[in-house]
A and B are shown apart, each in its own frame.
Chain A
Amino acid sequence: MIPAAFAYHRPTSVSAAIALLADLGEDARPLAGGHSLIPMMKLRLAVPQALIDLAGIAELRGIRRDADAVVIGATTTMADLIASDELASIIPIIRETALVIADPQVRARGTIGGNVANGDPGNDMPALMQCLGASYLIAGSAGSREVAARAFYQGTYLTSLRPGEVVTGVRIPLPPAGHGWAYEKLKRKVGDYATAAAGVVMAMQNGRVAQIAIGLTNVGDTPLFAEAAGTILTGSSLDATTVDRAVAAAEAITAPASDGRGPAEYRTKMAGVMLRRALARAASPAAAR
């Protein structure tokens, strides 16, 4: 399992990386943690002529708090996310989710930028970013832009990233104070992609759902933002009838593949089960922590 030959570049600034991407064209790929790209290269399913390693760009790694958002640099690793007590106190669902991704060694290398930009529906961060209402910071030779996570994914490995562009970070608005959260992931073993997973971020007021967002992982060609399910739950007390309707609405937007993780019908139902568990945990007073 030896990848095809390629040229290696290690720029030290975003502008230099963009210039390289523009010069080298579509045969060049940015390299972050490499834990999606390198396995593909070893199988020769990816044969880039050049890799532009982002690891030398110091400004791309780190977690920064703005007035109303947290900005996480693209090459910030899953281990970095888990290690940040500040991040865990502001948006605890990020640590919870990162901890169910892969294993310690992979989390030491895998980055949030790679996880969200890759377009693999098995990745967990995309649905979480949709759930949190995050947007992706994108740089290219034509300038910088910001794209909502909910509008970024078009199909398996297909995103709205244009040739020559690179994701430089994610911007996550601060969730409401006292919010509840849960990311429930069903997997066959540690390190596996989800059979189905659901993320919930919600705020309650006087026993009713004031605000809620739901994301689903690996039960479609893209991560899924379950908007209709959220609308059904808003204003409710999370009574059984309303939860049943919301779960049905969430299941209705899934279209999972039948594969080693189970037949499509099973995975759809498991998406519903994960959503039920996530709702219960996000809403419980104990989960308010």
Chain B
Amino acid sequence: MAKTHVTMTVNGQSAEELVEPRTLLVHFLRETLGLTGTHIGCETSHCGACTVDFNGESVKSCTMFAVQAEGAQVLTIEGMANPDGTLHALQEGFREMHGLQCGFCTPGMIVRAYRLLQEIPNPTDDEIRMGISGNLCRCTGYQNIVAAIQFAAARLNTPAQQEQAA
């Protein structure tokens, strides 16, 4: 089958490739671009391990074709750390609050939480639980993930951090 030209911006960098139309976005990210931080879990749109940020929304990259991302802005876990190499507040939060055990769901959790905190900068625990309801974790029981996201929300909402980020 003929390949299709696709151009998108991934973590701020332009990516231009020829892909088979049937190539899933997650396979494109992992295999074509070598960005293996985005994980493949259930492959059935349930678990959220493959979550990436797509044009300002969280999506499951196992349920999209790369060709559908033509012209899109994509953010993966590889794009989360600050430009100076320090961890994003969410990464810091997951480390400090023990928001992971095996770590398999973590990239999807963090990328999803990133968008959630854009939508709701001061979420309640319930809002976090609903916000990450498309991401499954089989280790933690979620309690520490909620705590990790609250840690990041608090950090991102302190004026000092905002100045630093600006």
Chain A residues within 8 Å of B, Cβ to Cβ: 1-8, 10, 31, 34-35, 38-39, 41-42, 51, 53, 55, 79, 102-106, 108-109, 190-191
Q: Give Cα A38 to B116, complex, Å.
A: 25
* Smallest Cβ-Cβ distance to B108: which chain A residue: A105
Q: Which of B51-59, B74-82, B86-94, B145-153 contacts A (4 or more CB under 8 A)?
A: B51-59
Residue pair B133, A104 in contact (C-beta under 8 Å): yes
Q: Give Cα A2 to B20, complex, Å.
A: 11
* Smallest Cβ-Cβ distance to A55: which chain B residue: B68
Contacts of A39 in B (CB 8 A): 44-45, 63
Contacts of A104 in B (CB 8 A): 58, 112, 116, 131, 133-134
Q: Give Cα A149 to B63, complex, Å.
A: 28
Mask, B24-65, CB within 8 Å of A = 1, is 100100000000000000011110100100100111100111
Q: Classify chain B's interface size.
A: 20 to 34
Residue pair A109, B63 in contact (C-beta under 8 Å): yes
Q: Give Cα A10 to B1, complex, Å.
A: 17
Q: Give Cα A103 to B58, complex, Å.
A: 10
A10-B57 CB under 8 A given contacts A2-B22, A191-B46, A191-B133: no
Q: Is B2 located at the chain interface by the 8 A CB criterion?
A: yes
From the candidates A3, A51, A102, A105, name the one contacting B51 in the complex (CB within 8 A): A105
Contacts of A103 in B (CB 8 A): 48, 133-134
B-side interface mostly: mixed
Residue pair A34, B22 in contact (C-beta under 8 Å): no
Beyond contacts A3-B22, A10-B67, A109-B64: 7 other A-B pairs, Cβ-Cβ < 8 A, are: A7-B2, A31-B68, A104-B58, A105-B48, A108-B58, A190-B134, A191-B134
Contacts of B67 in A (CB 8 A): 8, 10, 53
Q: Give Cα A4 to B65, complex, Å.
A: 12
24 interchain pairs, CB-CB under 8 A: A1-B43, A2-B27, A6-B21, A7-B2, A10-B70, A34-B64, A38-B65, A42-B44, A55-B68, A103-B133, A104-B112, A104-B131, A104-B134, A105-B45, A105-B60, A105-B134, A106-B45, A106-B60, A106-B63, A106-B134, A108-B54, A108-B59, A109-B59, A191-B133
Q: Give Cα A5 to B133, complex, Å.
A: 32
Contacts of B133 in A (CB 8 A): 103-104, 190-191
A5-B21 CB under 8 A given contacts A35-B63, A105-B112, A109-B63: yes
Residue pair A35, B45 in contact (C-beta under 8 Å): yes
Residue pair A105, B59 in contact (C-beta under 8 Å): yes
* Smallest Cβ-Cβ distance to B40: which chain A residue: A1
Contacts of A55 in B (CB 8 A): 68
Residue pair B21, A51 in contact (C-beta under 8 Å): yes
Contacts of A79 in B (CB 8 A): 57
* Nearest 7 CB-CB pairings of A with B: A103-B134, A8-B21, A5-B1, A108-B57, A190-B133, A105-B134, A1-B43
